[in-house]
Amino acid sequence: MIELDEQQQQARDWFESLRDRICAAFEGIERGAGSDAAFGYTQWDRTDADGGPGGGGVRGLMRGRVFEKVGVNVSTVAGRFSEEFAPTVHGAGEDPHFFATGISLVAHMANPHVPAVHMNTRFLATTKRWFGGGADLNPPIPYDQDTADFHARLRAACAAHDQTFYERFRKWADDYFYIPHRGVHRGVGGIFYDHLEGPFDASFAFTREVGEALLDIFPKLVRRRMETPFTDEDKARQLEWRGRYAEFNLIYDRGTSFGLRTGGNVDAILMSLPPEATWR
């Protein structure tokens, strides 16, 4: 059991409460579709490289009629970065000790007309303390209305805290969620931010706003599209798009790299991969 200070405990408690509400909302969608699917939870523990307690987390996973595969994970870990990895992490160059807590969500949908979604928010402490994360929409078959509504909700979340956030973080997402070797973006964007230091209370409040925005808008998009008829061609398009998604997560995603290089739970880290994909 790792010891947490007040800020670390507040962040962990929030991520766990958000997980519980998101999972309840997604299970409610499944019940509305006539499915009894529910999240199964797997706890995992981490031992730090020096043999001390390193924290752990809980992986929540559901497979249902609407959500072909959705994972909602919360992890809280601490320890020491390797000498090679420490200089690449904000504030860890002088002292490799770290603390990290966060929530990660990836939903792959059964109906190709329903967009997949990703959301991650986190709090890290090295010699510096900061929040990071974001949310982005990943439709195999994009709809302008869904894209506009998703971005409008994120724009409102940003505007409640800083009028410059949305344009800055939207562009950051566009730059980050790009697959250079394919020359395409992973989806239709969203927001991405990192190293949000500032006063803890303000940065924490914004991070909570991002989580609330996702919980508000995504279930509406799912219900809008989940009964849309689809063809074999639509499904083939979804599976090929998922291949691009997998390529990004395995090659470029920072969260995947961070988890694997800090001794995280492999099943939880690779939860983001789709259940099925094709490469032509």
Active site residues: 118
Beta strands 184-185 and 189-196, pairing class:
unpaired
Q: What is the C-alpha to C-alpha distance for residues 174 and 170, in angstroms, rounded to an integer? A: 6
From the list 92, 101, 106, the residue with the least C-alpha distance to 132 is 101
**CA 213 – CA 200 distance, rounded (Å):** 20
As a whole number of angstroms, the distance between CA 218 and CA 220 comes to 5
First to last CA, the chain: 47
Q: What is the dihedral of CA 264, 269, 270, 271, to 10 degrees?
A: 130
Q: What single letter denotes the amino acid at residue 148?
A: A
Closest CA to 29 of 243, 198, 258, 219: 219
Strands 67-80 vs 97-109: parallel, antiparallel or unpaired: antiparallel
In three-state secondary structure terms, 77 is: strand
Quote the strand ranges of the chain, DSSP E. 40-47, 53-62, 67-80, 97-109, 116-125, 129-138, 178-179, 184-185, 189-196
Q: How far apart are CA 27 and CA 30, in angstroms?
A: 5
